[in-house]
Amino acid sequence: MLNTLFSEIFSSTTETIAVPQFLLGIAVALVIGIFLAAVYSYKTKYTKSFVVTLALLPAVVCVVIMMVNGNVGAGVAVAGAFSLVRFRSVPGTAKEIGTIFLAMGAGLICGMGYLGYAVLFSLILGIAMFILNKVNIGADKRLEQDRILKITIPEDLNYTGAFDDLFEKYTVKYETVSVRTANMGSLFKLTYNVTLKNPNDEKDFIDDLRCRNGNLEISMARQEITNNEL
C-alpha cells in the first residue's frame, strides 16, 4: 500500500494529464499551502497578503510543472521568467525566504505527481518549523535589554559626558547616535543606543536622568531588528 501511496499519479505513457489527476494535484498543493501558511503564522509577525500568497504558491508551482509535463528544467526556466517581477515590494527576512522555498519545493513535488512525498515533505518540514518557533531557538536575550534613549536637555547643559556616570551605573554599553537642536536652538535632543544591565531598573534610570536634564522630555523604546536584515 505504501508503494501505491508514494507512487507517481501521472502516467508516463501519455503526454496529456487527465482532469481528475490535474484537480487532485492542485487540491493537494492547496492543502499543503494552507498548512504551511498556518504553521508560518504561529508566533510570527506577518501580513495577510504574504500568508495568502504562501497558501497559493505550491498550487501555482504545481501547475507550472504539470504544464511542462514534469520537465524540471523547463519548469525552472518558467519560474525564472516570473522572477523578473519582484515578489515583494520590500526585501524579505530569512524566515520568509526559507518558507517560500519550502512552499515551492512542495509544489514542485506535487507537479511531478508524487503527492505522497509532497505531503510527507511538508509535514516533516512544517512540524520542524513549528517546533523551532515554539522553543524560540536562536532568540537573542540581549535584545530585551537594548533600548533607544532620547533625552532633551537645555542649551546651557554641556551634553559631552553629562550622563556618563549614569550610563556606567545602569548600562552595559552605550553610544551616541545623533545630536540635534530644537525650539530655535534653546534645546538639544540627544539619541543613544544603550544596553541596560537590568531592564527592571529602567524607571530608576529615567528618574536619575530627569534630575540631570531639568525634568525635560525623555523617551526610551526597544530597539527593533529591521525587516530587511537576514
- Interval 38-58: pLDDT, tens: 999 887 878 888 899 899 999
Residue 71 has pLDDT above 60, yes or no: yes
Q: What Cα–Cα distance (Å) separates residue 154 from each residue in 157, 165, 188, 210?
A: 6, 19, 6, 12
Cell numbers at 19, concatenated: 482532469
Instruction: Please compute the mean of the pLDDT values over residues 218-225 and round it to a whole number.
Output: 82
How many contiguous H segments (helices) and E segments (strands) does the chain have? 8, 4
140 vs 55, more confident: 55
Which CATH number applies to 141-222? 3.30.70.1380
Cα distance between residue 72 and residue 98, in whole Å: 20
Residue 86 has pLDDT above 50, yes or no: no
216 contacts: CB under 8 Å, gap ≥ 6: 151, 152, 153, 154, 187, 210
Q: What pLDDT does residue 75 have?
A: 60
Radius of gyration (Cα) for the chain, nearest Å? Answer: 27
pTM of the model: 0.64
Instruction: Please compute the mean of the pLDDT values over residues 86-99 and round it to a whole number.
Output: 68
Cα distance between residue 135 and residue 1, in whole Å: 36
Q: What pLDDT does residue 4 have?
A: 52
Q: Where are the domains of the chain?
A: 2-135, 141-222
Q: Give tens-digit pLDDT for 165-216.
A: 999 999 999 999 999 998 888 899 999 999 998 888 999 999 999 999 989 9
